[in-house]
């Protein structure tokens, strides 16, 4: 039935969600602003500057727009340092098998990530040529939970949204997939992705997805 699969990147294909967390944590510690993994769950799928705004809700200090941009850049420098080390070994369990099976069955595949580092991560993972289409922050106006990025991806692979499956580890991402009229699959933290049509621990058992096709 389904003809296209659209993958989020960070936290779905590889565990860069952890690196985003560690980079924000380093910045927050330097600023003496309280930040923990629970708050971090709300940052998944959210753009860099919006993420910073959420973190700064926990401080009374005020920052000019220019300072905020400087802080966001600083976090990005920490993050870029971490993703330099990424290799194909960092692809999460089951992802390569799933991709292979989808390809065999002629299913179109896209990546939809709001990260401006998405192409670097895909390159380091050895997956830059794997997908039929990649949409990142440069191609869209509205981030998740707006459905724009998933609709753009469906258009890019030339599959009707209702014939697409979206895979996400973030609350905002699941909402975006649902609003795009696609079937949503949530992976990772249950509380975060519980609005998904189907929730999986991870992609290590790809039969759960292949059985839908
Ligand atoms: C993804 C991640 C977010 C991150 C965002 C922007 O959506 O899930 O945690 O904030 O991308 O990433 P960037 O690499 O552009 O800062
Ligand atoms: Mg993600």
pLDDT digits (tens, 9 = 90+) for 98-108: 999 999 999 99
From the candidates 8, 29, 158, 197, give the one annotated as an active-site residue: 8
Residue 53 in this model has a pLDDT that exceeds 90: yes
Distance 58 CA to ligand 1 centre (A): 20
Asked if 132 is an active-site residue, the reply is no
pLDDT-based confidence at 153, cuts 50/70/90? very high
pTM attached to this predicted model:
0.96
Residues 189 and 169: beta-carbon distance below 8 Å: yes
Give the model's pLDDT for residue 206: 85
Q: What is the mean pLDDT of the chain?
A: 97
Q: What is the pLDDT of residues 173-199, one digit of tens each?
A: 999 999 999 999 999 999 999 999 999
Task: Kindly list the protein residues whose Cβ atom lies closer than 6 A to any atom of ligand 1.
Answer: 10, 17, 20, 43-48, 51, 76, 113-117, 137, 170
Is the backbone peptide bond immediately before 65 cis, with ω within 30 degrees of 0?
no
Asked if 10 is an active-site residue, the reply is yes
Instruction: Name the residue of 46, 136, 186 whose CB sits within 8 Å of the most ligand 1 atoms, as the mutation to test its pocket.
Output: 46
Token look-up 């799928």 returns 45
Nearest Cα residue to atom 2 of ligand 1: 45
Query: Binding residue per annotation — 33?
Result: no
Q: What proportion of the chain, given as a percentage, has pLDDT over 70?
A: 100
């Amino acid at each position: 039935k389904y003809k296209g699969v659209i993958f989020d990147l960070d936290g779905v294909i590889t565990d860069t969600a952890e690196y985003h967390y560690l980079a924000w944590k380093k910045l927050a510690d330097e600023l003496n602003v309280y930040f923990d993994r629970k708050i971090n769950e709300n940052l998944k799928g959210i753009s860099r500057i919006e993420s910073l705004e959420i973190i700064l809700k926990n401080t009374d200090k005020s920052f000019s727009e220019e300072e905020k941009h400087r802080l966001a850049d600083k976090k990005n420098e920490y993050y870029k340092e971490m993703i330099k080390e990424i290799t194909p070994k960092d692809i999460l369990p089951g992802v390569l098998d799933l991709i292979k099976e989808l390809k065999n069955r002629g299913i179109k595949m896209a990546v939809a990530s709001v990260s401006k580092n998405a192409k670097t991560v895909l390159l380091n993972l050895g997956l830059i040529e794997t997908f039929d289409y990649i949409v990142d922050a440069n191609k869209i106006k509205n981030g998740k939970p707006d459905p724009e990025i998933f609709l753009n991806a469906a258009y890019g692979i030339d599959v009707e949204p209702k014939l697409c499956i979206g895979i996400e580890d973030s609350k905002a991402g699941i909402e975006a997939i649902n609003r795009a009229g696609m079937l949503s699959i949530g992976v990772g933290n249950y509380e975060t992705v519980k609005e998904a049509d189907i929730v999986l621990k991870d992609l290590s058992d790809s039969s759960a997805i292949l059985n839908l096709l």
